Structure 1
Amino acid sequence: MVLNLLLVFYEAMKSSGKAWPVISEVVQERCLKRISARVRFIEGLTPQQQAQAISDAIADHPEQQLLAYVRGKFGEHGLLGIESETEKMLMLAALNLVECIAEAAPKSTQ
């Protein structure tokens, strides 16, 4: 499933017509740290606070459509509950793809 996401993201980036930089390991690591920090932040919150924090993070994210696509695919496969380490790693990989794309996205010059 994550490979499918990667292919969809690649095609979206390619069809944007913009020149995309190579996403380095440094960028990947920085993005993964950002995701991990968000997860640690919400772990101590009540379920209602968690839902609000997640909603706020999505609303403020520069790649909302990619996040929605990831959520939809994980929902289709019944993986939103993250009940195992494997599911956790899949989710982290998918979210890291989105985060890296958001960070590397060519800025528009208007």
Structure 2
Amino acid sequence: MARFREQVNKGIEQEPETKNQKPETRNQKPEAKLIEKTPILSYTDEDMEAVNVAGFKVPYIVREHWKKRCREKRVKLSPILKEFLVNEFGLPPGISIDDI
């Protein structure tokens, strides 16, 4: 997945660019301050391609975001999903979480 590394990092944790501003002098009129909005990120079709995650489809960029967050927290996604599903729906009689 090295070919997508730049695309994945494109939309995640980018710091906003700062603009250099001139210092105000006494004779200079203050400029009206513009309210900066959060930039809207645009993803390519490759970023939005549906990929499989635990049996359901999500955009590629979402899966890579989840993988990055799991690496940061040093956890694996599968055990988290298994635990959630067991807590939410339970298991059939005679099966424990250690069996799956």
TM-score bracket for the superposition, by shorter chain length: under 0.3
> Greater strand percent: which structure?
2
> Greater helix percent: which structure?
1
Report the TM-score when normalising by structure 2.
0.23
